[in-house]
Amino acid sequence: MAVSISHLGYKKLSRVIFEWQAADRASLLALFVLMEVTSHWLWCLFVWWHRAIYASYVDMDLFYPVWIGVSLTGVFFIWMVSHLSPLRKDNGSLRKWQAVLVTIYSIYIAVVILVMGHSSLVSGVSLVGGAMLAMMLIRRRYIWNAFLAHILLILVFTIFPYFGFALPNLRQTDVSAFPVVTYSYLGYSEVTAVESTVQNAIVENDKPGWDLLSQLRFSSTFFWRATHLYMALPKAIFIIYTFRTLLLILDASKKEILQHANQDELTQLKSRRYGLTQMKAALLAVEDDQDFSVILLDLDWFKEVNDKYGHEVGDRVLMEVSQTLLQSLDEETIISRYGGEEFLIVLPDTKHDSAMCIAEQLRLSIAEHVITVDENNKFHVTTSLGLYTLTHEERNCIKQTHEMLTQKEASNSLSEPKKMKSFISKHSISKDSNAHLPHDICQRLICTADKALYEAKDRGRNQVVSANEMSAVNEAGIASL
């Protein structure tokens, strides 16, 4: 796969990070390095073109070997851009060339920082920004090792001159302009401080005129500071842009992951897991005087629909039924796909009579909806619904029973005072009355509604059955006995 600058766009960079193979990502990193080397080569061309002006600021004897080295490095990375992508199936060679890429670039950028005059701006961007960008594309172990080696080189380049070692430097200053000793070592900060002092000394009343500004434009100080900005700022802007894009990609990916985890792909309803999570949260949030209703809805004879019309039509039935549910219920209602053709509907703060009316209206709306296969094939589907309403009295009773059982078990099993103290502390923190409901309370409600659903099917389908009414009938029958 050929890589190009066009891959820096949001969507294409997203593909690079999540879909491209390692060889293609390494090839793209080589392209990024080539872009930086090209900017250095253009700087060399600019200095050479204006050598009559800048020869007094640049050591031309060192400049030409440096330009040749930059050119050879550029040719090498041009070759790597096209060479790495074909190595998709040769992991051994790919890792070797990744290591070579990182090594050559680390040495190259260290030499550039050295000969251009040590600048904390250029070093910082190359050391931190470059390493972070490279870690997105190739083996992180290589980048980490190169990062440590780069730190070591910076320390060496900083300390060596103080021990009398002369390091090559393109920066050349007119000694007659500064009252300094030529053989003493001055770091970048010291040199710029001296230059600034000299420049300020020749400015009258700190208000330079146009002639002086024109002279300053061609001065060594301005030239080398502009050079360091040229070396660092474009690279910094590019890296920040890339990481900004990466964060956008991660945000979008997080949203997509959560959507896939929480939403059923076919029906666009909540998934079973997420539906149960929201059901539990809604049950904990319900107030003491509020009832809580649950409906389990199942499509009648859905297997026959699949057998007769095919699974594609069956999927369409599920989608259209889901849309009917969404359109018929308000936003506070929790609707999830519980199983293949089963739907779980949770109605917080809904009394039994209201829940029965809602369930009956859903049954009618779905039964009246026409499923169109083609011009000659149209049919209706019906549903069976099981309903259970947990009244606030029942909820309080369950809570009290659960607390009594928990305390009884604790008193029987906890003999050590330390454990008892921990238990009491743990159970005295919560002030939420619903916090002491059994952990499986949601499954209990669903199982009760499921029994009513099976009763609806036994009675002939296409109807709503209330588990509360079933329980009342059973209790009345027992009382009559």
pLDDT in tens, 399-445: 777 777 777 766 666 555 554 445 444 444 344 444 577 888 899 99
- The DSSP output letter for 172 is -
Return left, alpha or beta for 310; rule: phi > 0 is left, psi -120 to 50 is alpha, else beta.
left
- The DSSP output letter for 2 is -
Least confident span in 8-17, 140-149, 218-227, 274-283: 8-17
Smallest CA-to-CA distance from 343 within 180, 453, 252 is with: 453
Q: How far apart are CA 320 and CA 322, in angstroms?
A: 5
Whether the CB-CB separation of 470 and 452 falls below 8 Å is answered with yes
Give the mean pLDDT of 186-209.
51
pTM: predicted TM-score of the whole model, two decimal places = 0.55
Quick check: 449 pLDDT over 90? yes
The predicted-structure confidence for 367-393, as pLDDT tens digits, reads as follows 999 988 887 888 999 999 999 999 988
Give, in degrees to the nearest 5, the angle at Cα 20 between 15 and 26.
120
- Antiparallel, parallel or unpaired: β 334-337 and 378-380: unpaired
Residue for token pair 């199936």: 89
Whether the CB-CB separation of 339 and 272 falls below 8 Å is answered with yes
Q: How far apart are CA 297 and CA 337, in angstroms?
A: 10
CATH T-level fold of 272-480: Alpha-Beta Plaits (3.30.70)
The predicted structure's pLDDT at residue 352: 93
Phi, psi dihedral angles at 465 (to 5 degrees): -125, 135
- Residue 188 vs residue 321, higher pLDDT: 321
Q: Give residue limits of the domains in the chain.
A: 5-259, 272-480
Q: How far apart are CA 82 and CA 27, in angstroms?
A: 7
Q: How far apart are CA 156 and CA 107, in angstroms?
A: 13
Quick check: 229 pLDDT over 80? yes
Residue type present at position 316: R
The predicted-structure confidence for 137-186, as pLDDT tens digits, reads as follows 788 888 888 888 888 887 887 787 778 777 788 877 544 334 443 334 44
